[in-house]
């Protein structure tokens, strides 16, 4: 058998090629991951829709004025106070007639069923809430209305937005821990949906008086 000496490919330049690629990726890429507050805008108003009738006690007005001061229901407050007040407004533990109305889930279910065309997904969700969380769970009718001036700084606006979102997130987390002993983010999708129904992101922005709740 003839021993053939295999030709040896010079791999010395391989490093150069790899370095070239490496440097290319180093300069063209950025490490940043986009983070932020995800919100849903209300759909555009079509034609003349009359403004929805909302009981005054169910609207929590947060106003940011042109001097970047924050006011809740007409009185100036610190940004840090928003979170606690929003939570109190949504849960209304003492049944204060000035804070949001609490509707028991059973009543919401009956209301939905008495409609001519009941929304079956809603019916299913309400039934699941009664079954899995309990019949005395209440769903709030409250809406936070965030109003701002055209010269309000975006930074302050977002800070307020952050506090309101934070309040709702905390409420969801508290309920999730109470019922399933897990934080909200670790729950399976169908359980998250139930909690989302109990504490929706009821924040209304821009022309709040002429808009329906989103």
Partner 1 sequence: MATFTKKSKGGAPGISTASLPDIVFMLLFFFMVSTTMKEVEYKVRIKLPEASESKKIENKSLVSYIYVGPPSKNWEGKYGTKPVIQLNDQIANLESIQRYIEEERAKRSESDVPKMTYSLKIDEETDMGIVTDIKQELRNIQALKINYSARKTPAK
Q: Which residues bind partner 1 (CB under 8 A)?
A: 5, 7-8, 11-12, 14-15, 18-19, 21-22, 25-26, 28-44, 64, 148-155, 157-159, 161-162, 165-166, 169, 205-206
Which helix (H) or strand (E) covers residue 114, if one does? helix 105-114
Residues in the chain: 214
CB of 51 to partner 1, least distance (A): 17
Q: Is 102 helix (H, G, I), strand (E, B) or coil?
A: strand
Q: For residue 80, give the DSSP letter.
A: H
CB of 207 to partner 1, least distance (A): 9
Closest approach of partner 1 to the CB of residue 26, in Å: 6
Calculate the CA 130 to chain-centre distance: 23
**Which is closer to partner 1, CB of 18 or CB of 76?**
18
Output DSSP code: residue 184. Answer: G
Contact 171, 87 (CB under 8 A): yes
| Beta carbon nearer to partner 1, 21 or 113 | 21
In the complex with partner 1, which residue's Cβ is closer, 2 or 31? 31
């Amino acid at each position: 058998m003839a021993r053939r000496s295999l030709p040896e490919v010079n791999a010395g330049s391989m490093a150069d090629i790899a370095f070239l690629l490496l440097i290319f990726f180093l300069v063209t890429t950025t490490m940043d991951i986009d983070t932020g507050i995800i919100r849903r805008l209300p759909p555009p108003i079509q034609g003349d829709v009359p403004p929805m009738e909302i009981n005054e006690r169910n609207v929590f007005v947060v106003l940011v004025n042109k001097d970047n001061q924050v006011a809740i229901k007409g009185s100036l407050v610190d940004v840090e106070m928003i979170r606690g007040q929003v939570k109190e407004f949504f849960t209304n533990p003492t049944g204060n007639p000035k804070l949001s109305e609490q509707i028991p889930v059973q009543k919401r279910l009956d209301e939905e069923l008495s409609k001519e065309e009941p929304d079956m997904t809603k019916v299913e969700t309400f039934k699941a809430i009664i079954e899995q969380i309990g019949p005395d769970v209440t769903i709030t009718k409250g809406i936070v209305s965030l109003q701002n001036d055209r010269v309000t700084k975006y930074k302050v606006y977002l800070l307020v937005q952050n506090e309101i979102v934070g309040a709702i997130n905390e409420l969801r987390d508290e309920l999730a821990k109470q019922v399933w002993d897990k934080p909200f983010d670790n729950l399976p999708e169908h359980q998250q949906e139930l909690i989302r129904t109990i504490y929706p992101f009821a924040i209304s922005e821009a022309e709040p008086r002429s808009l329906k709740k989103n």
